[in-house]
Structure 1
Amino acid sequence: MNSQAPQSANTAGPASDFEIRDKDNIAAGVDAEVVVANQRVFTGKLAWVFAALCILYTAFHIGVMNFYPLETWVFRLTHVATGLALGFIYFSGRAFPAEPAGKKALSPLEWALLLPAAVMILIALGQIMLAITSGELVKTGAPKEAMLWTFGYPLLGGTTLALIASWVSPTHARDRVALPDVLMAVAAITVGAYIISHAEFLRIRAQVFPHFNDMFASIAGILLILEMTRRLAGLALVAIVSVFILYGFVGPWLPGVLEHKGYAPARFFAFIYTDNGILGPTTAISSTYIILFITFAAFLQASRVGEYFVNFAFAAAGGARGGPAKVAVFSSALMGTINGTSAGNVVSTGSLTIPLMKRVGYTPQTAASVEAAASSGGQILPPIMGAGAFIMAEITGIAYSDIVIAAIIPAALYFLSIYFMVDKEALKKGMRGLPREDLPEFGKLARQAFLFIPIFTLIGALFMGYSVIRAGTLAMAAAAVVSWFTPFRMGVKEILYAFEIAARMSLQLVAVCAAAGVIVGVIALTGIGTRFSSMLLELAGQSQLVALFFAMCVSIILGMGMPTTAAYAVAASVIAPGLIQLGIEPLTAHFFIFYYAVMSAITPPVALAAYAGAAIAQSDPMKTSVESFKFGLAAFVVPFMFFYAAPLLMQGAWYENLHAFVTAAFGIYLLASGIQGWFFGLVNLALRVVLILAALAMIAGGLASDLIGLAAAGVVFAFQRKFVNPANTAKGLD
């Protein structure tokens, strides 16, 4: 989710003004590209030039992954450097004004910053290009002054001045590029060129005796990554990364488990910009799996298959009581699994579902809360899980297919919970669904079910043993082919458009994963992860339950304000080793952390998905985050469920897995009934408590606890049906 408020052509207005103009395509425009408040929209020749650059960026990744593998560092550095360059071109440092400002001359302050910045960055770029072409690189053992005055100092100085200039320069029209951003784009390419050309030396010397140029290039690169992260993901992740960088230098003066010996700046920064940090697992994922599936999502978007998913959800559930809320559950599940961020999913599907929920009687706050909770759930839904499955496979070494299978029951329980919650809300308030005449005809959409083929192609290819990259590429091809049987046939132009929007859609996650790589690098260098695990073991006193509670808190705190990919990667680096040392299975430990990292998007006080929904619904953000937490409460229970009942992660015989799912699903139903205060009618506070306790008993997974839960639910049912009441209960005691 971008730090700036989203603006989109498909954002609906207040419910009272919302009209369904085309019932056969009620979702028209729902997957249109969202233009955020600080995003540039080029016209004319600039639009063609930068569209071509975006197409080349996506084509480079797809080509390398499928046809022409590159050396790892070269591939990842090209991914980061060019991604940053495109990011600075497309996204301004601040939101654009509502009314475009006229072209103004540079102020004296801007001239004072930009002129020397341009000179220094161009000197650094010229020096590294000359060194590459002549072969006169800064080899290991080179004098410390080598290229220092023609590369190191100018690069860092110019980057810093350009960064300051981007903060003080006023924003103008969306269709123009600002000079400070052009200079930072050039600086990003310069950093990438230096590290690529010196990779063979850096692999050896970065951890031992780096050159000063290594340090200056790394510092400039980190500054650019943090600035792009601020523009695209807000200040929360920037603040967290800054704290970790500071920790690298103040460790000798910190107490207890936080103490470390400290590091020289050259060694610290050079180490961070290697495959131990920025070029490590987080960038490995963003440069392969994330780019791949963002491109797949772009193909679905360009072929309008995303619209079909939402239309199908409306046809299936729009007429039920509280229909739009149930549509939000289904459509967010379908769209969210291929969307890299919870908040991004809210913006895309919520612009349609939130006004319609308000139309049938949900309050703005509840409408936004339902959409936020449902959209967050898309991140835990197989087969893609918002790229989380691939990160988990990379970190743990567990087969991707095993992770996807393990995710099925927990994801089903989560969406069942939200479905039950919205259904109980509709029952309490006597809501109805949308009129059937306003909804797409299910029969027509059922005849277009072939549009699900890309998803089935992806799943089938994965389980047939194809690699993730090959499966994703086949799914892209399937999306293009099925479009030929619709009015939105994909030809060369549409495929190139998909490549173009894929590049822009990926820029946020490129920056976020690189920023998370800084944290991973600090953890690896300082050993804080190992020491934190030891502290966790001591605090837990060998109690797995206590350790899991601490892990839950840390995962949520680390995830506040961060996209799922970054939140999980950081939390797993810090927490997972300690949980595994306590004897918790690696799959269970990582799933536990992943769930809470995802749910940080709806956890107050920093709940990005809830805030995105509140902006659309025009509701109070904090109250919306609290209510979205309530709707997503099952996700805070499910991780403890699969800790106690391994069959919930498909870790048992088929009948054990089935028993665990059925009893847990009934427990989820009881939990929703207790929270919403409606079982087979309104229930008072005392009976709500009984229902919640019965739910927890059913969720525990044992036969005895299941019987206790069923008995408690039966008592509540008997009270509601007047089979038992206080009067005849008292007589029975005589």
Structure 2
Amino acid sequence: MSQPQTSPAVDAGPMIAQGVDEEALASNQRDLGGLLRQLVALICVVYTLFHIAVMNLYPLETWTYRMLHIAGGLFIGFLTYSALTLKPRAAGEPAPARGIGEWAFLAVAIAGIGYGAALIGWAWLGYWFAGISRPADFVFTTYGLPLVIGIVAAIVAGWVWGGNDRTGVQPTDWLLGIATVAMTGYILFNVGPIRLRAGTGMAQPADFYAAVAGVLLILELTRRVAGLALVVIAAVFIGYSFFGPYLPGFLNHRGYSPTRFFTYIFTDQGILGAPVAVSSTYIILFITFAAFLQASRVGDYFVNFAFAAAGRARGGPAKVAIFASGLMGMINGTSAGNVVSTGSLTIPLMKKVGYPARSAAGIEATASSGGQILPPIMGAGAFIMAEVTGIPYTEIVVAAVIPAVLYFISVYFMVDFQARKLDMKGMRKDELPKFAVLVRQVYLFLPIIILIYTLFSGYTVIRAGTLAMASAAVVSWLTPYRMGPTAIYRALDLAAKMSIQLVAVCAAAGIIVGVIALTGVGARFSSLLLGLADQSQVLALFFAMCISIILGMGMPTTAAYAVAAAVVAPGLVQLGIPVLVAHFFVFYYAVMSAITPPVALAAYAGAAISGSEPMRTSVEAFKLGLAAFIVPFMFFSSHELLMQGEWIDILHVFVSASFGVMLLSAAVQGWFFGSLNPILRIVLLVAALSMIEGSWLTDAIGLAAAVIVFVVQRNIVGTKTLAKGAD
């Protein structure tokens, strides 16, 4: 098959994006070598293929499938992520000798985990080779406590002595992997009875120990891949389950025994609930789709196409960042991760054309966060929303279109007005790829087009995602990066490694969701919102906004929404707000927590690349993304923004709101048709808020105010003339 070009460097101009798809290693992520690398890669490929096969060919019982999903993620996670930041070791430098303390913890871990795993293994061997469905009593009555003690010893040893070389796996991490297999083995061996007795007075001590072991393993991997924020929040909720009887007001509850609590948490009301249901189906499927796009270098094409289309405009790299980071962030599933991948390219180029360091980092963080609200994938948020609400996925995607467009319109004008204000130029033509050449390769967008077409043609989400994934491999044959068996193998390997963070995060979010369901705190929070609404519905919404942002701070967006949907959304529904509107409301604020001070993960990731001060960068990102904090109140008052209503009303509200967010951008940046003094900025802000409100009267007021500012700035009528007219 002939290639579209023989040499991108010659035919298409300079290719700015090279390897933008490559996943950067985290500070505690291992870079294994030799046979160990091949072994882990094989495990990852089997893990990915297992999910694709179950989703498309061989369905499994729900609990069994979700448990294997979590167990595989935990096992791979412990082999690939160290407990501590990995310290580089010089070539030939011997590993540090283990002291008595480390040997002591290691011995306890080996003894406890080894004993528990041996007994579970004995039970399975008896079942497979002798048909023994119930092993001797001592097997399940004695395995649990040693297993939990061994896990605790291995985790503590990792915290103290886990920061060794990247190329090997610590013994304690192998032990945690074995503990994962033992914990899963017990649950799957008894999955039928556990489904009936978990969370009740009939739950067995053995069930309790398996659940405790699972919670410990999930929280430890979550700490490694997503930081402490989500772990601390989960720990607070776990503590709340036991200390509820001593708390005042709506937080009070009767309390629960450890056996009932932990066995309940490990059901489809908790860890095996909605977040893991989504991560084990839609999330891993679309991460595999993203891995196929990466393997075929389509991400490089997306970014180069954006540079060719917008690079010469004022502040070109910033406008490229809006397009490219939004598109990649939609697929990526994590705002901060996308900032690291695309920001390493766009942030230095934004600084080169004149953007201050904090603005460059803020623009990248804002655009990457916007990718999480961009249909059709929405960083996996759309799938969780469909699972939680029961609303068809396609309806959620359609509803998301106008709010996402408004967000990116706002960010675009923020960037453009800032470029005008700083008198920036774009990049030179000879610095950019040739648009005429790249546009002939527009077929590289086919996988996404196929995804959208199949979704709206009645295919299931899983079938549509699988076809899109296959099309990415086929389209790669029209490029210099043809996907053969080796490239497909690498893509399947990469997909598993990319999914680890979201597997851990969704399982940890399931703990929080389970606590909310068990204690009923969500219902009591709903009552609190109803009480506030008696005074003011807007006040209740403002309170819900604050809670959603606080719950999301420091958490990946997927977990942030899952938690906010369990705590806040039911209260909004009880206020009489439609389910779709209520969930979109909390979804937006959960996503925007990534750029909200004081804990703004996406902004902090951008600051690390740009060299700017993190807090000032987060304030800049918050300012640039301001529209996202207003849009939810807009679709609360105008459901037409979510495609609810007559098309003429939808068109009116969209046009009005688009003009409103443009005026908002001008007011925030202090530039419209020239520099704005404080009075004109206030007038323009009033105009923006009036246009955003959506009624014909407020539109007329906003338009009149905007015209006044335009007239003054263009010197058509001077301020003295206006003053005389007022007389």
Give the TM bin, normalised by the shorter chain.
Answer: over 0.9
CA–CA distance in 1 between the matches of 2:30 and 2:87? 12
Q: Does 1:161 align with 2:149?
A: no
For structure 2, the 5+ residue unaligned runs are: 1-9
**1:29 aligned partner:** 19
Is the Cα contact below 8 Å between 2:343 and 2:606 reproduced in 1?
yes
**1:114 aligned partner:** 106
CA–CA distance in 1 between the matches of 2:521 and 2:447? 43
Of 38, 41, 44, the match for 2:34: 44
**Which string of whole-angstrom CA distances, capped at 9 and with x for unpartnered residues, describes residues 348-375 of structure 1?**
1100000000000001111000000000
**1:8 aligned partner:** none
CA–CA distance in 2 between the matches of 1:105 and 1:730? 83
Is the Cα contact below 8 Å between 2:690 and 2:699 reproduced in 1?
yes
**1:266 aligned partner:** 259
Q: How does 1:235-384 map to 2 (within 5 A)?
A: 235-384=228-377
Q: 1:542 to 1:400 in 2, by over 3 A?
A: farther
**1:698 aligned partner:** 691
**1:601 aligned partner:** 594
TM-superposed deviation, 1:689: 0.6
CA–CA distance in 2 between the matches of 1:137 and 1:102? 49
CA–CA distance in 2 between the matches of 1:725 and 1:414? 34
**1:173 aligned partner:** 165
Q: How does 1:621-700 map to 2 (within 5 A)?
A: 621-700=614-693
CA–CA distance in 1 between the matches of 2:395 and 2:324? 25
**2:64 aligned partner:** 74
Q: Does 1:212 align with 2:223?
A: no
Task: Indicate the percent of aligned positions where both proteins have the same amino acid.
Answer: 61
The alignment yields a C-alpha RMSD, in angstroms, of: 1.5
TM-superposed deviation, 1:134: 2.7
Q: 1:202 to 1:138 in 2, by over 3 A?
A: farther
CA–CA distance in 2 between the matches of 1:410 and 1:89? 41
CA–CA distance in 1 between the matches of 2:504 and 2:199? 24
CA–CA distance in 1 between the matches of 2:17 and 2:237? 44
Is the Cα contact below 8 Å between 1:342 and 1:378 reproduced in 2?
yes
Is the Cα contact below 8 Å between 2:88 and 2:165 reproduced in 1?
no
TM-superposed deviation, 1:146: 6.3
- After TM superposition, the structure 1 stretch with the greater mean CA deviation from structure 2, 404-413 or 26-35, is 26-35
CA–CA distance in 2 between the matches of 1:162 and 1:517? 24
Q: Does 1:88 align with 2:78?
A: yes
TM-superposed deviation, 1:116: 2.3
Q: Does 1:193 align with 2:185?
A: yes
Q: Which aligned segments of 4 or more residues in structure 1 are displaced greater than 6 angstroms?
A: none
TM-superposed deviation, 1:542: 6.2
Report the residue type matching 1:367 in the other structure.
A
**2:175 aligned partner:** 183
Report the residue type matching 1:281 in the other structure.
A
**Which string of whole-angstrom CA distances, capped at 9 and with x for unpartnered residues, describes residues 554-611 of structure 1?**
0000000111111111111011111111110100000000000000000000000000
TM-superposed deviation, 1:642: 0.8
**2:7 aligned partner:** none
Is the Cα contact below 8 Å between 1:252 and 1:259 reproduced in 2?
yes
CA–CA distance in 2 between the matches of 1:525 and 1:30? 44
Of 435, 439, 444, the match for 2:437: 444
Report the residue type matching 2:713 in the other structure.
Q
Of 521, 534, 544, the match for 1:541: 534
Q: Does 1:518 align with 2:508?
A: no
**Which string of whole-angstrom CA distances, capped at 9 and with x for unpartnered residues, describes residues 407-435 of structure 1?**
00000000010100000010001100111
**Which string of whole-angstrom CA distances, capped at 9 and with x for unpartnered residues, describes residues 486-518 of structure 1?**
000001110110000000000000000000000
CA–CA distance in 1 between the matches of 2:191 and 2:643? 43
Report the residue type matching 1:40 in the other structure.
R
For structure 1, the 5+ residue unaligned runs are: 1-19
Is the Cα contact below 8 Å between 1:516 and 1:566 reproduced in 2?
yes
- Provide the secondary structure at the position in 2 that maps to 1:533: helix
CA–CA distance in 1 between the matches of 2:22 and 2:119? 43
CA–CA distance in 1 between the matches of 2:664 and 2:458? 39
**Which string of whole-angstrom CA distances, capped at 9 and with x for unpartnered residues, describes residues 269-310 of structure 1?**
011011110001010011111000000000000000011000
Of 36, 49, 53, the match for 1:63: 53
- Provide the secondary structure at the position in 2 that maps to 1:489: coil
Is the Cα contact below 8 Å between 2:199 and 2:262 reproduced in 1?
no
**1:424 aligned partner:** 417
CA–CA distance in 2 between the matches of 1:380 and 1:407? 7
- Provide the secondary structure at the position in 2 that maps to 1:338: helix
Q: How does 1:492-571 map to 2 (within 5 A)?
A: 492-541=485-534, 543-571=536-564
TM-score by length of 1: 0.95
- Provide the secondary structure at the position in 1 that maps to 2:400: helix
**1:475 aligned partner:** 468
Of 114, 122, 132, the match for 1:130: 122
Is the Cα contact below 8 Å between 1:601 and 1:609 reproduced in 2?
yes
Is the Cα contact below 8 Å between 1:84 and 1:188 reproduced in 2?
yes
**2:408 aligned partner:** 415
Is the Cα contact below 8 Å between 2:533 and 2:575 reproduced in 1?
no
TM-superposed deviation, 1:663: 0.8
Report the residue type matching 2:61 in the other structure.
E
- After TM superposition, the structure 1 stretch with the greater mean CA deviation from structure 2, 536-545 or 241-250, is 536-545
TM-superposed deviation, 1:137: 6.3
**1:103 aligned partner:** 95
TM-score by length of 2: 0.96
- Provide the secondary structure at the position in 2 that maps to 1:275: coil
CA–CA distance in 1 between the matches of 2:88 and 2:410? 41
